[in-house]
Structure 1
Amino acid sequence: MNNINVAAARSEQSILQTNKVIRNTYMLLSMTLLFSAVTAVISLSLEITSMWAYLGSIIAGMVVLFIIGKKQNSVAALPLTFLFTGLWGFALGPILNHYLAMSNGGDIVVTALGMTALTFVGLSAYVFNSKKDFSFMGGFLAAGSMVLIIAMVAMFILPVFGIDVSAMHLAFSAAVVLLMAGFILYDTSKIVDGTYQNYVMATVGLYVNIFNMFIHMLALVGFLNDD
């Protein structure tokens, strides 16, 4: 009888811990997305158009992301998370300025943002309601990531030899959107089933998925609306 009570107590404690991680993850995700929006607006207002500014912010953010992984259980994790998302939000400035310079740029940005938001909310809601385990996708997602990294390198090298890669860019963006959708399903299921115990790491994982999906959704919508 005592063993049953102990098991029940542990199960209840595990559920409470998982619920706490879920609550903290989505609360922090909301705040970091808002903070990113603020830094993106600042970048926009400064009219930064250089892709070097974009690359610099992305690389600096990746360095901070690496540090977050090392400091995930320390008090430094939260401010580092805001620093990371702030840098990547700032990186959006040159990208958004590029699209907003188009005649229908505002529509492109709003459409891409709306599609990204709807996709994230829809996939997240599906995982929460179905409680389906998407851990089986881990291997496919890892392989897909490697293929896309190779494709990205190829897109930098092939133009040197005079090869047109414009169609490849479109296919690449479509593949990234699909891959990020898979990562959202995978990461959300890991949060729901209690595999992810650190809400900071869960937050940055979802943030990276959303960021990459939005960037490449912009590319797809921009291509389809190119005058």
Structure 2
Amino acid sequence: MSPIHSINQAQALPALATNKMIRNTYMLLSMTLLFSALTAGAAVAMNLPHPGMIITLIGYFGLLFLTTKFRDSTLGLAFVFALTGFMGYTLGPIVSHYLGLPNGGQIVMTAMGLTGAIFLGLSGYALASRKDFSFMGGFLMVGILVGFLAGLGAMFFELPGLSLAVSAIFVLLMSGLILYETSNIIHGGETNYIMATVTLFVSIFNLFTSLLHLLGFMNSNE
């Protein structure tokens, strides 16, 4: 075997692993998005009430913990569907609320379209450019934590202005997280497709709900 052939083969192995990681992540992401949409649709059709903040947080962090713990086994796949299905269920009553507003259908469809366009645009850019966005990790972690706490404060103290600001900030943070995680997948910072799927799913979920909130507010002021 020639030295050049050995070098080419060594270079091809990481590329094959990366391509497999990308393929598995986007395949699982597509399936979880569909499953979540079905559970959200079922919650809307049955007019199910929102489970409340406490149950939502316990359910989300509990299932996230189990998904993370079993991320290297087939059980992790079951938990990722349980997590995304649960998030879809909590989304159903939120969508029902906006559908009940004037032009509610248009608000929901616009938020959905913008979410899809932002995700495809940013992930496509990261995949095509191959730029390394790992430098954003620390900023995103702090920003999401602060935004989460501010969102809880806005809810408990009923501060609609702060709530709107948090939604606007989360649109930017989730856009950054999509770039960061896609870059992580490409450059080997994330090698588990289950965890990559969860991160991208949560980004899309929060992006959609934040856009819903902003568009709903804009519609109410027209």
Tell me if both proteins adopt one fold, taking TM over 0.5 as the criterion.
yes
Partner residue of 1:131? 130
Q: CA deviation at 1:212?
A: 0.6
Instruction: Report the number of matched residues.
Output: 221
Q: Aligned partners of 1:67, 1:6: CA distance in 2, in Å?
A: 41
Secondary structure of 1:76's aligned partner: helix
Mapped contact 2:155–2:163 kept (Cα < 8 A): no
Partner residue of 1:225? 219
Change (3 A) 1:57 1:157: closer
- Match runs of 1:174-185 below 5 Å: 174-185=168-179
The normalised TM-score by structure 1 is 0.90
Specify the code of the residue in structure 2 equivalent to 1:211: F
Change (3 A) 1:50 1:24: closer
Q: Aligned partners of 1:71, 1:6: CA distance in 2, in Å?
A: 36
Secondary structure of 1:34's aligned partner: helix
Q: Deviations over 1:91-114 (max 9, x none)?
A: 111101111111211011001111
Partner residue of 2:161? 167
Between 6-15 and 36-45, report the one with greater CA deviation. Answer: 6-15
Q: Aligned partners of 2:54, 2:72: CA distance in 1, in Å?
A: 28
Change (3 A) 1:29 1:50: closer
Partner residue of 2:11? 11
Partner residue of 1:162? none
Q: Aligned partners of 1:148, 1:118: CA distance in 2, in Å?
A: 23
Between 32-41 and 186-195, report the one with greater CA deviation. Answer: 186-195
Change (3 A) 1:186 1:177: same
- Match runs of 1:1-227 below 5 Å: 6-50=6-50, 52=52, 56-57=55-56, 59-159=58-158, 165-226=159-220
Q: Aligned partners of 2:156, 2:60: CA distance in 1, in Å?
A: 25
Secondary structure of 2:11's aligned partner: helix
Q: Aligned partners of 2:59, 2:91: CA distance in 1, in Å?
A: 14
Mapped contact 2:151–2:162 kept (Cα < 8 A): no
Mapped contact 1:49–1:95 kept (Cα < 8 A): no
Specify the code of the residue in structure 2 equivalent to 1:216: S
Question: RMSD over aligned Cα, in angstroms?
Answer: 1.9
Specify the code of the residue in structure 2 equivalent to 1:9: Q
The normalised TM-score by structure 2 is 0.92
Change (3 A) 1:183 1:10: same
Specify the code of the residue in structure 1 equivalent to 2:13: Q
Q: Aligned partners of 1:181, 1:37: CA distance in 2, in Å?
A: 21
- After TM superposition, which residue ranges in structure 1, 4 or more long, deviate above 3 angstroms? 1-8, 156-159
Secondary structure of 1:103's aligned partner: coil
Change (3 A) 1:142 1:50: closer
Specify the code of the residue in structure 1 equivalent to 2:112: L
Specify the code of the residue in structure 2 equivalent to 1:181: S
Q: Deviations over 1:198-223 (max 9, x none)?
A: 11111111000000111111000101
Secondary structure of 2:149's aligned partner: helix
Mapped contact 2:167–2:210 kept (Cα < 8 A): yes
Q: Aligned partners of 1:176, 1:77: CA distance in 2, in Å?
A: 27
Specify the code of the residue in structure 2 equivalent to 1:224: M
Q: Aligned partners of 1:213, 1:142: CA distance in 2, in Å?
A: 16
